[in-house]
């Protein structure tokens, strides 16, 4: 069986009891970075495990190997560096191959940065649009322009290197909607967590004043 195990996005206490039990009991753990997952097991005081590293789309052969091991009856856990596997990180290929092979999959609920940001945002979230990381070039401008008429709350991930540039682009493309809400969630669940609630009209000022370190998730309110 393949168990998909979300792991904390910052606060170690966000691991679930079930996730810990699975990680302790499985035969091996499929992970992105063996050092990150090794450190997680150590902090959770879990026994050492065999790691099968899996980085993404280039690991086609590895996906076959994982399927073969599951076919032998092994219990493998899939984790990513943080959060829910497959949400803007490797994992999808493994799950799709295992699913295609007709093998048993169990997915545990757990942390994901975009869900924490949405729930803290105070914006309407009965419906929302999750975009992962915005495209760097192709389609970027068209996508940003589509935000002008989007009636759902939008949530996306951004790196510290690009956050200010992206916020400046948002301010430009939405300059005719100055009251539209933007929530910048930084370092969620960590010691230096910061949630900036602002609007398009103040976005550039806020962006220049904020600390540009750590991990960012941006939530944009719907078209008024
Ligand atoms: N699988 C993860 C999940 O379920 O949230 C997301 C993985 S993606 C490679 C990593 C991105 O998620 C970061 O670059 C950042 O944009 C966002 N992120 C992760 N942890 C975060 C945190 N603690 N606070 C804010 N954003 C975070």
User: Looking at the structure, do residues 11 and 95 belong to the same domain, yes or no?
Assistant: yes
Q: What is the DSSP letter of 149?
A: G
Q: What is the DSSP letter of 159?
A: -
Q: Which strand (E) or helix (H) includes residue 133?
A: strand 128-133
String of b and e for 6-28 (b: at least 16 CB within 10 Å)?
Answer: bbbbbeeebbbeebeebbeebee
Residue nearest to atom 16 of ligand 1 (CA): 157
User: Looking at the structure, do residues 148 and 103 belong to the same domain, yes or no?
Assistant: no
pLDDT at 9 over 90: yes
What is the reported pLDDT for 156?
Answer: 98
User: Looking at the structure, do residues 25 and 92 belong to the same domain, yes or no?
Assistant: yes
pLDDT at 90 over 90: no
Evaluate whether 124 touches 96 at the Cβ level (below 8 Å): no
Backbone torsions φ then ψ of 67, nearest 5 degrees: -60, -45
Evaluate whether 8 touches 41 at the Cβ level (below 8 Å): no
Lowest mean pLDDT of 55-59, 113-117, 119-123, 140-144, name the range. 55-59
What is the reported pLDDT for 11?
Answer: 98
Helices (H), the chain: 17-25, 34-43, 60-71, 92-100, 113-121, 140-146, 163-173, 203-209
- Is 32 a pocket residue for ligand 1 (Cβ < 6 Å)? no
pLDDT tens digits, 151-191: 999 999 999 999 999 999 999 999 999 999 999 999 999 99
Over range 38-63, report the average pLDDT.
91
**Rounded-to-integer distance, Cα 106 and Cα 4, Å:** 6
The range of the structural domain enclosing residue 26 comes to 2-107
- Looking at 51, 80, 107, the residue that finishes a domain is 107
Note if the pTM is more than 0.85: yes
**Measured in angstroms, how far is the CA atom of residue 217 from the centroid of ligand 1?**
7
User: Looking at the structure, do residues 103 and 117 belong to the same domain, yes or no?
Assistant: no
User: Looking at the structure, do residues 88 and 13 belong to the same domain, yes or no?
Assistant: yes
Helices (H), 4-103: 17-25, 34-43, 60-71, 92-100
What residues are paired with 182 via a beta bridge? 198, 220
- Looking at 77, 92, 107, the residue that finishes a domain is 107
Give the number of other CB atoms < 10 A from CB of residue 114.
Answer: 24
- Looking at 88, 107, 126, the residue that finishes a domain is 107
Structural domains of the chain, count:
2
Residue 193 sits in a domain of what CATH number?
A: 3.30.950.10
**Measured in angstroms, how far is the CA atom of residue 102 from the centroid of ligand 1?**
30
Residue 72 sits in a domain of what CATH number?
A: 3.40.1010.10
What is the reported pLDDT for 56?
Answer: 75
CA angle 129, 3, 1 (to 5 degrees): 135
**Measured in angstroms, how far is the CA atom of residue 177 from the centroid of ligand 1?**
28
Pick from 6, 7, 9 the residue to mutate for probing ligand 1's pocket: most ligand atoms within 8 Å of its CB.
Answer: 9
54, two tokens? 């899996």
């Amino acid at each position: 069986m393949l168990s998909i195990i979300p792991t904390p996005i910052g606060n170690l206490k966000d691991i679930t009891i079930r996730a810990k039990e699975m990680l302790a009991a499985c035969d091996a753990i499929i992970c992105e970075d063996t050092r990150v997952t090794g450190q997680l097991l150590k902090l959770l005081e879990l026994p050492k495990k065999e790691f099968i590293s899996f980085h993404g789309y280039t690991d086609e052969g590895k996906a076959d190997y994982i399927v073969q091991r599951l076919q032998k009856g092994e219990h493998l856990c899939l984790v990513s560096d943080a959060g829910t596997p497959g949400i803007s990180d490797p994992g999808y290929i493994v799950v799709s191959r295992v699913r295609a092979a007709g093998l048993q999959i169990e997915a545990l609920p757990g942390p994901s940065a975009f869900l924490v940001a949405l729930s803290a945002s105070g914006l309407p979230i009965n419906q929302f649009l999750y975009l992962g990381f915005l495209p760097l070039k192709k389609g970027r401008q068209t996508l940003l322009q589509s935000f002008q008429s989007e009636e759902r709350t939008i949530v996306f991930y951004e790196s510290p290197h690009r956050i200010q540039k992206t916020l400046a682009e948002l301010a430009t493309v939405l300059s005719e909607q100055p009251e539209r809400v933007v929530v910048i969630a930084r370092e969620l669940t960590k010691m230096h967590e910061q949630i900036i609630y602002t609007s398009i009209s103040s976005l550039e000022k806020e962006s220049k004043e904020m600390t540009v370190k750590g991990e960012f998730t941006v939530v944009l309110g719907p078209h008024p």
